[in-house]
Structure 1
């Protein structure tokens, strides 16, 4: 289970923090690290020193230019957020997240990504909109600033507690109830993002959505869809509806007579 939990760091600006994160991960048995557009040289003496023997995780970390690439194969993406947002999103505590992991990772093809933002500004709204849920560490409100490695340590600890609970359970079958069929497996991040692109195109095509005046329509539809956690088959049904809608809109355009050729009784 722990092998299928990925820690994703976006825009990290200090190599020492990357080393500290690697150490926190290795302490708790996590090994999948992804670095998205780091703003510093990654493998430095400070990084290796802070890693304290876990620098192999840094050397093997996948590096990408975008969050989408870093989580493309993940079925659950959770963003760490310390700020309240104008558009509420599903929010969980670290403990609740840990308790949810055995169910999320029951299917051996499932992957979970825990996403952490920049040291100075955290995750952008666009990045948070790409997450199924947000996790908030309930710190002292009078001093809520957490070091990046410390934040990763808290969530990694909850991941390990959840894993230990599955090892101690007398009946592990409760954690393997998810269907293994490809159709019934949760849709991946890439598949869901493809659906959102298709959805926005069709809504714009039929005049329901105006990209110039979006009024948070796509953000609200994202929140609704991600909360529902669609299976692959369900997502294919939705995309089939969109394709049929596009086809019908095109057919209607082709059969509408121009004003110059309309007969007088067609106006009634």
Structure 2
């Protein structure tokens, strides 16, 4: 009962700081992860994921990643990894000064390569409440790709070369959780800022892990993604996500 009260309290606090938005979409996040412990400090993992948008109707992303985590001290750990992303880029229409349509580029898929490195510090109180702070640097590269767009003046399709693009982002995540190893549920909430010479987006997440044994863990969460300052090529509306994940340890 106390655990459910803590989860409700965290959800209430999170909801109180969420901005109100009229233009947003809904999506689903699904993930599956396998983790292998090498020794008491080192572990490696393999993770696959998918994401939808457009109120759950459109596939948005597939991903496959590999990483490693090392426990530096009792309260500090480091991790690093690589993720292969296959993104469904949104369609885009350009307009003339008169307001007439100029060119239309339909949605297209493109590969991205991402590497990251993180440090996470955590402190656990005697009542099993844990506070954590993660600082993650990530570098993402999108190779050059060619797609098509419709030219309204010429009334025909033309090739459009999307130049290669690289981007570095600092992700800062502050979290609170109820960490009792003997409990079935482990509720949590966190706020994460994406900083690339300015805050681009903020993610608010509340959810719970569900421990099904020493090897199996489910997670379920709600996430609100508040978009801030993002270039037109990277445009995303504010998003409401429902997420489900599965983790297997061996």
Q: Which has the higher strand share?
A: 2
Higher share in helix? 1
Task: Provide TM-score, normalisation by structure 1.
Answer: 0.20
The TM-score normalised by the length of structure 2 is 0.21
Q: Which has the higher contact order (CA 8 A, sep 6+)?
A: 1
Flag the structure with larger Rg: 1
